[in-house]
Amino acid sequence: MTEEFFEKKLAAQPITAIPGMIAFDIPVHGDNRGWFKENFQKEKMLPLGFPESFFKEDKLQNNVSLSRKGVLRGLHAEPWDKYISVADNGRVLGSWVDLREGDSFGHVYQTVIDASKGIYVPRGVANGFQVLSETVSYSYLVNDYWALDLKPKYAFVNYADPALGIEWYDVENAEVSEADKNHPLLKDVVPLTKEQL
């Protein structure tokens, strides 16, 4: 993987292309033994713009997925807000698409995430990522409880839709689930209304 590719992604469309998304720098303190970070600290992050509304439902849950190099997951919009971070030494190419009704419908944001970056994603914005390291632990702090029976409330868009203009790394060799391969194109996605969110 070329550093030129990563630099291009880091300098791509600004996060403000999708209203409500916020990026946070996370200090990582390390030495020859390893490292430590405060992945999320409410009192420190609220003044930086983290929305107080995230906590209004009082149902917080932290989910972690483990994926190996080359895996590509997404693009899924769940019925909750989420704070995303990398919990280990891994690195992903994160991609988001706004599926909410309004002027920003279909807008895309893409960047590289490692342990030093956290991303707040409002509900209705589809999330996906491609693993760039050998493995990655991808952490989601969400404000509703995860359950399989919520799947029908998700919204999806196809990661390979040319209309999105998303540039994945070596996408021809990416490992993608059959479900993700069969998600609809953006032109077939019905925008999510405020009532659905």
129 within a domain of the structure (yes/no) = yes
Total domains in the chain come to 1
Residue 75 maps to which CATH number?
2.60.120.10
Q: Of 76, 120, 138, 183, which residue is the catalytic one?
A: 76
CB 142 within 8 A of CB 43: no
> What pLDDT score was predicted for residue 4?
67
Burial of 197 (0-12, 13-18, 19+ CB in 10 A): middle
Cα atoms found within 13 Å of the Cα of residue 11, Cβ hemisphere only: 6
Structure tokens at 129: 């990522």
Span 16-41, pLDDT tens digits: 889 999 999 999 999 999 999 999 99
82 within a domain of the structure (yes/no) = yes
The pTM of the whole model exceeds 0.85? yes
> What pLDDT score was predicted for residue 197?
85
Identify the three-state secondary structure at position 121: strand
179 within a domain of the structure (yes/no) = yes
Identify the three-state secondary structure at position 187: helix
CA 64, 44, 99, 171 dihedral sign is negative
2 within a domain of the structure (yes/no) = no
4 within a domain of the structure (yes/no) = no
5 within a domain of the structure (yes/no) = no
Whether 183 is a known active-site residue: answer no
Q: Of 83, 109, 140, 159, which residue is the catalytic one?
A: 140
Span 43-56, pLDDT tens digits: 999 999 999 999 99
Structural domain boundaries, residue 56: 11-196
Whether 140 is a known active-site residue: answer yes
